[in-house]
């Protein structure tokens, strides 16, 4: 069967209308795609449309979208509770239902049953195996990961994930559609847990958790250093609160299981909060008190934490991804800058600072605290041994001519 190209993708189905689903439907509709939006009941569909209307009105107020464009986008969204109606005439169906393999496999299989045979089936999963979902269909070569970032209407980045069976044509079609949506796609070449961005984030969260547990610095001291010295948009504890302590807790366990000891999480810190429903921003309390808005972290507390250690751990994880052929350094850098607002990508940062210095930082930490998190990746050691120490040498993660 002839594979679907991005030009042929005109009608799209979005399954699931939660936090992500309605925003994704809006992002497609704004760019001219016809969208069928499916939810289990009429009430959640009504709520989703109201949320889309509200979001579009914000764009109109800001002047980035005209009234006419907003109305046209809304008119392109059809809502339904029936799979036959939702996917019967689409070229691409994207599921964004709750994060459960059993549920997602069921949804994939339903889409497979009703969608035309040429249609691509994509998942917005953050942590689950795209390959395993694909196996619930009779077209695993036309299944793929299309991982959006929150809020999908605004965030520039999309991670495109190749499942074991995903065809090149499917991958290219989704990379292309992402560009047509005005986004920057990065390719995750393997269906590896955490894909690119979450994997690096959880590594630096773990580093902060270990540092705090060893009594080296307080939570506020770590966050103040990360923000005011490192130039990151949020401190690590603040960011865990922002994404949800429960989300970090679940993802960190999945990464530990998938990638081993390097990802041993400090559940002693997060589990009690999850049990007490102190989940961060969404419940008003997490590591910090969010009841009066974003926590204030005094800049005077900066300097007690060595932010270079966050960079070293991020660099190390980037090296593992390159070694395992999960991602190219360019994708890793773009992912961290566009997906999380980092001031630099870890590969370009390490190249600028010198890979020898980064390696030294890791070795120093590893000899003081012999946990796998700090154990230098063989690729990093190899680069330094070859003299590929970054910008000054003309070659590191990137090439400099």
Interface with ligand NAD by CB under 6 A: which residues? 15-21, 39-40, 44, 96-99, 103, 124-126, 147-148, 150
Encoding tokens for residue 148?
């959006």
Helix (H, G, I), strand (E, B) or coil at 289: strand
According to DSSP, residue 160 is labeled E
C-alpha span between 254 and 246 (Å, rounded): 13
In the complex with ligand NAD, which residue's Cβ is closer, 40 or 294? 40
C-alpha span between 190 and 198 (Å, rounded): 14
C-alpha span between 74 and 26 (Å, rounded): 8
**Least Å from the CB of residue 244 to ligand NAD:** 8
Helix (H, G, I), strand (E, B) or coil at 330: helix
The CA-atom distances, in angstroms, between 236 and each of 153, 287, 310 are 25, 10, 10
Question: What is the separation, in whole angstroms, between the first and last Cα of the chain?
Answer: 44
H or E element at residue 71: helix 67-75
Whether the CB-CB separation of 380 and 355 falls below 8 Å is answered with yes
Q: List b or e across 284-293, with b for residues whose CB sees 16 or more CB atoms inside 10 angstroms.
A: ebbbbebeee
In the complex with ligand NAD, which residue's Cβ is closer, 18 or 357? 18
**Least Å from the CB of residue 67 to ligand NAD:** 28
In the complex with ligand NAD, which residue's Cβ is closer, 107 or 379? 107
**Least Å from the CB of residue 355 to ligand NAD:** 31
**Least Å from the CB of residue 247 to ligand NAD:** 7
In the complex with ligand NAD, which residue's Cβ is closer, 186 or 380? 186
Residue whose C-beta lies closest to ligand NAD: 18
In the complex with ligand NAD, which residue's Cβ is closer, 38 or 365? 38
* Among candidate residues 184, 295, 201, the one with its CA nearest the CA of residue 240: 201
**Least Å from the CB of residue 130 to ligand NAD:** 11
**Least Å from the CB of residue 125 to ligand NAD:** 5
In the complex with ligand NAD, which residue's Cβ is closer, 99 or 169? 99
In the complex with ligand NAD, which residue's Cβ is closer, 5 or 109? 109
Encoding tokens for residue 29?
């509709």
**Least Å from the CB of residue 148 to ligand NAD:** 5
C-alpha span between 207 and 263 (Å, rounded): 10
Residue 199 CB-density burial (10 A; 0-12 exposed, 13-18 middle, 19+ buried): buried
In the complex with ligand NAD, which residue's Cβ is closer, 46 or 386? 46
Any alpha helices (H) in 159-289, and if so which ranges?
A: 168-180, 197-213, 219-228, 236-243, 245-259, 267-275
Encoding tokens for residue 41?
């009941």
In the complex with ligand NAD, which residue's Cβ is closer, 21 or 346? 21
**Least Å from the CB of residue 179 to ligand NAD:** 19
**Least Å from the CB of residue 124 to ligand NAD:** 4
**Least Å from the CB of residue 233 to ligand NAD:** 16
In the complex with ligand NAD, which residue's Cβ is closer, 98 or 291? 98
Rg (CA), the chain: 22
* Among candidate residues 174, 117, 171, 91, the one with its CA nearest the CA of residue 1: 117
C-alpha span between 63 and 315 (Å, rounded): 40
Most distant CA atoms of the chain, gap in Å: 63
């Amino acid at each position: 069967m002839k594979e679907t190209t991005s030009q042929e993708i005109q009608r799209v189905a979005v399954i699931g209308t939660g936090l992500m689903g309605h925003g994704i439907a809006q992002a497609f509709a704004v760019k001219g795609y016809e969208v069928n939006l499916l939810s289990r009941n009429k009430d959640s569909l009504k709520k989703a449309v109201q949320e889309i209307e509200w979001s579009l009105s914000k764009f109109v107020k800001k002047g980035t979208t005209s009234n006419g464009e907003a109305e046209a986008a809304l008119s392109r969204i059809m809502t339904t509770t029936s799979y036959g109606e939702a996917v019967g005439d689409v070229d691409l169906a994207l599921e964004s239902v709750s994060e459960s393999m059993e549920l997602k496999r069921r949804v994939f299989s339903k889409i497979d049953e009703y969608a035309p045979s040429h249609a691509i089936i994509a998942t917005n999963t953050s942590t689950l195996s795209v390959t395993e979902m694909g196996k619930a269909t009779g077209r695993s070569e036309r299944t793929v990961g299309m991982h959006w970032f929150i809020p999908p209407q605004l965030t520039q980045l999309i991670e495109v994930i190749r499942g074991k069976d995903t065809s090149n044509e499917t991958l290219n079609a989704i990379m292309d559609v992402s560009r047509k949506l005005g986004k920057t796609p990065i390719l995750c070449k393997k269906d590896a847990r955490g894909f690119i961005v979450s994997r690096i984030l959880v590594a630096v969260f773990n580093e902060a958790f270990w540092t705090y547990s060893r009594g080296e610095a307080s939570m506020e001291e770590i966050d103040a250093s990360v923000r005011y010295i490192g130039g990151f948009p949020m401190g690590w504890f603040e960011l865990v609160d922002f994404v949800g302590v429960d989300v970090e807790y679940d993802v960190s366990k999945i990464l530990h299981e998938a990638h081993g000891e390097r990802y041993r999480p400090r559940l002693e810190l997060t589990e009690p909060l999850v049990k007490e429903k102190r989940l961060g921003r969404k419940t008003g309390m997490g590591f910090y008190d969010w009841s009066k808005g974003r926590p204030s972290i005094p800049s005077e507390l900066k300097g007690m934490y060595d932010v270079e250690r966050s960079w070293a751990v991020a660099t190390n994880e980037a090296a593992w991804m390159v070694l395992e052929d999960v991602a190219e350094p360019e994708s890793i850098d773009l992912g961290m800058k566009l997906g999380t607002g980092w001031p630099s990508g870890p590969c370009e940062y390490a190249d600028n600072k010198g890979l020898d210095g980064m390696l030294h930082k890791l070795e120093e930490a590893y000899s003081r605290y012999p946990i796998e998190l700090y154990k230098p990746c063989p690729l990093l050691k190899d680069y330094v041994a070859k003299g590929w120490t970054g910008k000054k040498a003309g070659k590191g993660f990137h090439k400099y001519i």
